[in-house]
Structure 1
Amino acid sequence: MDIFDNLLNLEEQFYEEGWEEGHNENLKNNFLEGKQFGLQVGFQRFVLLGQMTGFCDVLDSLELGNQNLEKNVESIRSLIKTVGLSNKDEDVENLEKILVKLKNKFRTILISVNRLTKQDKKRIIDFDDFEDLSRIIAGEVKGFVEDEDVDEAKTAQDQAQAW
């Protein structure tokens, strides 16, 4: 074996080292991007629940004296407490079911608030306004779409509407 035999394999050696380095860097970046995407999607899923809780806190502080409204607020709070915060299949499925109930219950709360405030000629709030505000706060994460115009790509939030 000649001392120059290793020189003949330099190209292959550098190729393998470069490929391995690039592969490891890609794995690290994919992990970080996946974490960031997961945090954003998780935030988008639960921001509406946080807003509902905050709105219920405001209603409690106003002490409106409406028993129906207080009962619905308490119902919202108890439903939110049953939501699991993990990404397990059971918790995601449970969130889907509870979210439908929460939205309907919250609509009734907004209707009650509108009836109470209509006397004061204040602006009427509806659930669409509330949900739009949630989307603005949560932002949108662009989903990866291959060979399409990015402006027309669906967002992850759009795709998550049918949770």
Structure 2
Amino acid sequence: MASDPLEDVFNIEERFYNEGYEQGLRDGVQAGRIEGRSFGMEKGFEKFLESGRLAGKAVVWANRVPPQAVGAAGAKEPCTLPQLPKNARLEKNINTLYALVEPDTLSTANSDEAVQDFDDRVKRALGKAKIVERMAGGSSAKETS
């Protein structure tokens, strides 16, 4: 006997379900990619903002370190920020901090290794910044970022 003429009518619900499922799956994959990319860009921006903030602090601290030798003939320029104490360990920590977050050396690649290296460097730089803040007498908790 030929196929039942009402078979399409009886299976219409399943056919529409399968079509809707496939379309929802395609739309979900596309929306997931868009959301993932947006989230990744947001997190990347936050990480680079933090590294830039730390690099800026390192530059300010480096400029507050007293110069090695002051010439007697040179006129003294007014300084709006107080000089940091002359301390070789403090200078070393400031230099290390800047080396960790120097913008030219940070990778913008999106590989697992590059992201892990970036996160590790920023984490180490945060530790150095806390050390320098304690030695310089600054407070990190009260500063606005």
Indicate whether the TM-score tops 0.5: yes
In 2: Cα distance, 1:53 partner to 1:39 partner: 21
SS of the residue corresponding to residue 66 of structure 1 reads coil
- Structure 1 length-normalised TM: 0.53
The aligned counterpart of 2:36 is 34
The gaps in structure 2 that reach 5 residues or longer are: 68-87
Matches within 5 A, 1:76-115: 76-81=97-102, 82-111=105-134, 113-114=136-137
Matches within 5 A, 1:7-26: 7-26=9-28
- Write the deviation string for residues 50-94 of structure 1: whole angstroms up to 9, x where unpaired: 11123334456xx43525566654433322234333343323442
Does residue 1:126 correspond to 2:139, yes or no? yes
The gaps in structure 1 that reach 5 residues or longer are: 115-124, 135-163
Q: Offset at 1:106?
A: 1.8
In 1: Cα distance, 2:64 partner to 2:110 partner: 37
Rg comparison, structure with higher value: 2
RMSD: 3.3
How many positions carry a matched residue from both structures? 120
- Structure 2 length-normalised TM: 0.58
- Which amino acid in the other structure matches residue 139 of structure 2? D
Matches within 5 A, 1:60-79: 63-67=63-67, 72-79=93-100
| Distance verdict in 2 for CA 1:40–1:78, change over 3 Å | same
